[in-house]
Structure 1
Amino acid sequence: ARDTALSARLHFTVEKIIFFYPKFCLLKKGIKVPKGYRVDMMRIMFWMVVCSVVMGSFVKEGRVKATTEVSVSESDNTEPFSLICRIYNVAKNPPTNHIDLEEPLRIVQEVDALNTSLVEPKLHNETEQMVNSLEAVKPTVTWEAALSQLSLNQITQKAHKSLEEIEKIKSSESLEKAKADFSQVIFGEDGNESDLCHATVKDVGNRATACGSLGQETKGKSAGKNLVVDFFCLCAMRTTSSEGAKQACGFYVGRIDKHYGWSEKGPWGSSTMWASIKGGCGKHMQQHPKSTAEARHILDQFLKHLKTEGVYRQIECEPWCNKGNNAKVKGSHRKAGMLGTGITVSAGSDFKCDGKEVGREGKKSKNVNPGGVCVYYGPDKWEENIEWVRHFQTALNTLESVNNKTATIQRAIEKLQMLLNRAEEIYETTQVITEIQKPEGLAAFQNASGDLTVHNATRTRSYSHRPNPYFIPAWALFLI
């Protein structure tokens, strides 16, 4: 009985929600509803969706107006982040023309094997027998075998010469140099992924000093040193998360207070933050660059973005600027040489790339000060001032040279393959001729000829003026 009563009450509650929820939404929007208003299930579903969307939009609009405009907020830096991710993709996966340097050696070894196998010990015995008895083997066998051996010797010499030319190119050394330059683009001089603190972020201290101060037109001391530092300038949270932007690049980079992040004392938890950066870059690295021309285009896009300038917003407070709650956006401006987003409270770009979302001094304070999550490379001469750009261009130049050498090697390998094919044809043709003209081969051929009919014999004689088909490729192949 108790279960039945509970079921009845539950049924009544659900029915009440289903049939009067649309009416509630209409009344909330100020629309009069006729007495006895009821709807069918299709109308119920429709109004439930409408109300959900409307309520959600109000919440979202309120949140955006409250936070995004007057501070650096979620996803403000996704565009500059994607640009540097594309640079990282090139450095991580350089567009090299891969080639198997062991292949030419294997081809030459096969040519050597064919050349050696043509001269068998029994050939010398047959030669001695031919001197004692002219009836053993026709002189043409020795003559053709000698020509075949001469042809294979010439092919072998050409193959070894091509192999020597390939070995002189030494493209592998240049390729290693290009890879070293690309590694320096990512991790800096002597840097490596396994120990970022050793060199990559070594001596990188105060965030504003390292990433840049736009009010003084001062390039960041570590800005452009390597991609890791620039990524941290754009995306890392401050060590105390309440002081700064949390997902400037669209995801968290350093989420646990006092363990990960970057404030005045340098980056904390660099390896963990770098892992977050690589994860965020994943969707921008689905396709690797296919050529050095594509890689140069990516670099040009980055430099053009610096010319079109980064964004900073100017805010003001009413009636005074000592209460953060009174802040509102007065306008937005751009700054050449900057990546990221900044907030200023004056007409000038007097803010620092210190990682603060609106520059508030602590959680409890309401004072509004300039701040930004950004990296500043200086007003001009970026190809000279950005260290990783110089290494990137050097690596591309080296890589182009390597790819040209690789093309030369590929042509040499194709030539070797042609020589091998020719050597195989000569060897196979010589083997067939030798087998036919041996005494047992001639006897077998004569026995088979004796069984021919008169018609077949006549037919054979009618084509007797044509040369043996086995001799045609042999003489053609001897003309090298």
Structure 2
Amino acid sequence: TAGNEYISALAGCNNDGAGLYFFAAADDTKGDNSGAFAVLCEFINMAKNPPPSATQAENIDDVAAAIGALNMSAANPPFDQLIDHEHDLENHKEKSVKPTTGEEAEKWADNYDFWRKAKGLLEEKDKKATYASYRKLTLNTLAQKQIQTAAEIVAASFKKAAQLRAKVTNTATIQSANKALFGVTGAQPASPYYGSNGCGDVCGKPTTYSNTQAGNTLQLDALCLCGFFSGAGDAGDSCGGKIGTDTTNLAAQAWIPNTNPTQWWANIEAGCAKLNSRLQLTTTNVLFATAKMLTFMASDPKGTNKEYQHVLGNMEGNGSEGCKGKKDNNGGKCVAYKPEYFTTGQPTLPWLVNLQAAATAAAQMATAAKDMEQLESKLKDLNTSAHQLIYSETAAAHSQPPTTEGKESGTGEKQKQKDQCETIQTAKLCKEKQPKCEWKDPNDDDGEHCKLNETHAAQQATQAGTAGGNGETKTTDKCGAAKTPEECAAVKGEIPKDKKAVCGWIEEKCKDSSILVTKKFAFSVVSAAFVALLF
């Protein structure tokens, strides 16, 4: 039968609804609808407590931009000169460089935000010199292709991140949850609220279902179950707590559909809060609550011959007067749903459809957050591989052919270091080159300037002269002493097999190049990982 998949969800849960069912005599009594109210409150509480927005991976754009900047620095001619990082594409300061038609125009439209972010990184003061040094490299064909491949992957990642970022907020979840509570606008309805027809029509009349709105919103269904009816015996307490318009006199006014429901709703919310089972808004929990509701209604069918299977609340006789707000003769205080909502395996009550959509959006939000974490991790791996490639090329550019050991070789190296120090014009840059260089103050014989640290140079010469004996310096120690990519590339010693230099600049530090990943392997593994994630 319709809804069996939901009812079966209760099997084995040891929850048959004991304590929820009421079989009352004619006329309402206090607590008559407390069981039905508890069932409905499960949905109301889930709708009112959607999960918060998921935590976002924060560094995706920055990591992507780093690889984009690397690609720009290697481009020939310099592509980055065409990008205006201070303005969006629409407001580009050089209109003439922007293609307006064809494939190139589409490429600019698709990728300009990424290019702009990368160009901004090139212009950062503390990174400008480093990227400028990369421009001087002559990359071989394989290296150029690998950097280009990395940039293409990252451009797609940048767009993918923007798509995921829109999904990790709970906006869609809240919108659908509010529609479940209040209807298509997602807000408290305005006058005439639930229309000019009487409760018997609006809350459902099983014999005709004309003008019924039952099932449209959780708010209306709760009002039909709990709203005070003049002269009813429950005194406004049919749901187990007075649901009226005045906090001091809760049964002072009868609820009718064209009355502003705000104050009744406040009391309904408070009543549901007391029954909160802390079910999170998930697709599984919506399924479980639906199974409970179907079981509850099936346990107490209404009508002379028990022919009405989808009524929440109490009803007398044949139901011809509908859910009018009072249980007598052929009426009741209830919600009578159209049978057509239950003709398939999945009930299609409008508020239930909206609540299921909210739960689905919440699940998609959690999935998007995980995808963003994976994307960030893969980007970091790709960034490391791309920079290892550049650093190894930098090392090759700085490496020198082997020279005959001896005084002449040492003298040449010392003169080279001396020249490097003396070209520096500021104290700040000089101190960054310590201990190789040192800043002399104005009292020095030659005045204020940067010069070679003779003590450090002598120590280096001594270590070089004792290589292979007790004075041998381990490769890892020599690499660790280098503070810049240039110093790292210039470290002397035995070059590991299949490497171009003794050391490599890895993750902002100089390390033994033997730990560098083989470039071809690194890119193939990272690229393969991105295929599943992006495409």
Category of TM-score, reference length = shorter chain: 0.5 to 0.7
Q: Secondary structure at the match of 1:212?
A: coil
Segments of 5+ residues of structure 2 without an aligned counterpart are 1-22, 74-121, 401-412, 418-435, 438-451, 475-492, 497-501, 504-510, 524-535
The 5 Å alignment of 1:87-236 reads 87-94=43-50, 98=54, 100=56, 103-112=59-68, 116=122, 117=127, 120=130, 123=133, 155-167=150-162, 172=167, 179-193=174-188, 196-198=189-191, 201-214=193-206, 216=207, 218=209, 221-236=212-227
Give the distance between the partners of 1:465 and 1:303, measured in 2 at CA: 77
Selected match of 1:283 from 274, 297, 306: 274
Shift of 1:219: 7.2
Shift of 1:296: 2.7
Q: Equivalent residue for 2:337? A: 377
Give the distance between the partners of 2:372 and 2:297, measured in 1 at CA: 40
Cα gap change, 1:226 to 1:111, in 2 (>3 Å)? same
Q: Would the aligned equivalents of 1:185 and 1:392 in 2 still touch at CA under 8 Å?
A: yes
Give the distance between the partners of 1:107 and 1:148, measured in 2 at CA: 20
Give the distance between the partners of 2:377 and 2:278, measured in 1 at CA: 30
Q: Would the aligned equivalents of 1:208 and 1:220 in 2 still touch at CA under 8 Å?
A: no
The 5 Å alignment of 1:358-369 reads 359=328, 369=329
Q: Would the aligned equivalents of 1:261 and 1:267 in 2 still touch at CA under 8 Å?
A: no
What do residues 30-68 of structure 1 show as CA deviations (whole Å, max 9, x unaligned)? xxxxxxxxxxxxxxxxxxxxxxxxxxxxxxxxxxxxx97
Q: Secondary structure at the match of 2:178?
A: helix
Cα gap change, 1:174 to 1:236, in 2 (>3 Å)? same
Cα gap change, 1:340 to 1:105, in 2 (>3 Å)? same
User: Given the alignment of the two structures, is residue 339 of structure 1 paired with residue 312 of structure 2, yes or no?
Assistant: yes
Shift of 1:231: 0.7
The 5 Å alignment of 1:309-458 reads 309=300, 336-342=309-315, 344=316, 352-356=322-326, 359=328, 369=329, 371-379=331-339, 381-382=341-342, 386-393=349-356, 408-422=371-385, 439-440=416-417, 447-452=458-463, 458=469
Q: Would the aligned equivalents of 2:37 and 2:225 in 1 still touch at CA under 8 Å?
A: yes
Cα gap change, 1:452 to 1:221, in 2 (>3 Å)? closer
Selected match of 1:73 from 10, 29, 33: 29
Q: Would the aligned equivalents of 1:97 and 1:406 in 2 still touch at CA under 8 Å?
A: no
Cα gap change, 1:156 to 1:471, in 2 (>3 Å)? farther
Q: Would the aligned equivalents of 1:224 and 1:386 in 2 still touch at CA under 8 Å?
A: yes
Cα gap change, 1:258 to 1:288, in 2 (>3 Å)? closer
Cα gap change, 1:104 to 1:453, in 2 (>3 Å)? closer
Q: Would the aligned equivalents of 1:245 and 1:355 in 2 still touch at CA under 8 Å?
A: no
Q: Secondary structure at the match of 2:469?
A: helix
Q: Equivalent residue for 1:294? A: 285
Q: Secondary structure at the match of 2:184?
A: coil
Q: Secondary structure at the match of 1:374?
A: strand
Q: Secondary structure at the match of 1:340?
A: strand
Kindly provide the amino acid, as one letter, of the partner of residue 339 in structure 1. L
Q: Equivalent residue for 2:100? A: none
- Percentage of identical aligned residues: 17
Q: Would the aligned equivalents of 2:46 and 2:281 in 1 still touch at CA under 8 Å?
A: no
Shift of 1:155: 4.1
Give the distance between the partners of 2:283 and 2:55, measured in 1 at CA: 17
Q: Would the aligned equivalents of 1:185 and 1:391 in 2 still touch at CA under 8 Å?
A: yes
Give the distance between the partners of 1:153 and 1:105, measured in 2 at CA: 18
Cα gap change, 1:241 to 1:424, in 2 (>3 Å)? farther
What do residues 66-115 of structure 1 show as CA deviations (whole Å, max 9, x unaligned)? x9755433333222222222222333444687353865323323545677
Shift of 1:229: 0.7
Cα gap change, 1:431 to 1:70, in 2 (>3 Å)? farther
Kindly provide the amino acid, as one letter, of the partner of residue 222 in structure 2. F
Aligned length: 362
Kindly provide the amino acid, as one letter, of the partner of residue 448 in structure 1. Q
Cα gap change, 1:377 to 1:260, in 2 (>3 Å)? farther
Q: Equivalent residue for 1:246? A: 236
Q: Would the aligned equivalents of 2:200 and 2:324 in 1 still touch at CA under 8 Å?
A: yes
Structure whose alpha-carbon radius of gyration is higher: 1
Shift of 1:230: 0.3
Give the distance between the partners of 1:109 and 1:122, measured in 2 at CA: 16
Q: Would the aligned equivalents of 1:204 and 1:222 in 2 still touch at CA under 8 Å?
A: no
Cα gap change, 1:191 to 1:175, in 2 (>3 Å)? closer
The 5 Å alignment of 1:246-265 reads 246-256=236-246, 261-262=253-254, 265=256
Kindly provide the amino acid, as one letter, of the partner of residue 472 in structure 1. S
Cα gap change, 1:223 to 1:421, in 2 (>3 Å)? same
Shift of 1:248: 1.6
User: Given the alignment of the two structures, is residue 84 of structure 1 paired with residue 40 of structure 2, yes or no?
Assistant: yes
Q: Secondary structure at the match of 2:334?
A: strand
Structure (1 or 2) with the greater helix fraction? 1
Q: Equivalent residue for 1:273? A: 264
Q: Would the aligned equivalents of 2:50 and 2:280 in 1 still touch at CA under 8 Å?
A: yes
User: TM-score scaled by structure 1?
Assistant: 0.58
Give the distance between the partners of 2:215 and 2:159, measured in 1 at CA: 43
Q: Would the aligned equivalents of 1:219 and 1:376 in 2 still touch at CA under 8 Å?
A: no
Kindly provide the amino acid, as one letter, of the partner of residue 36 in structure 2. P
Q: Equivalent residue for 2:104? A: none
Give the distance between the partners of 2:379 and 2:259, measured in 1 at CA: 56
Cα gap change, 1:259 to 1:75, in 2 (>3 Å)? closer
Cα gap change, 1:172 to 1:277, in 2 (>3 Å)? same
Q: Would the aligned equivalents of 1:91 and 1:185 in 2 still touch at CA under 8 Å?
A: yes
Shift of 1:402: 6.3
Q: Secondary structure at the match of 1:163?
A: helix
User: TM-score scaled by structure 2?
Assistant: 0.53
Give the distance between the partners of 1:88 and 1:378, measured in 2 at CA: 20
Kindly provide the amino acid, as one letter, of the partner of residue 251 in structure 1. G
Cα gap change, 1:471 to 1:377, in 2 (>3 Å)? same
Segments of 5+ residues of structure 1 without an aligned counterpart are 1-66, 128-141, 315-331, 360-368
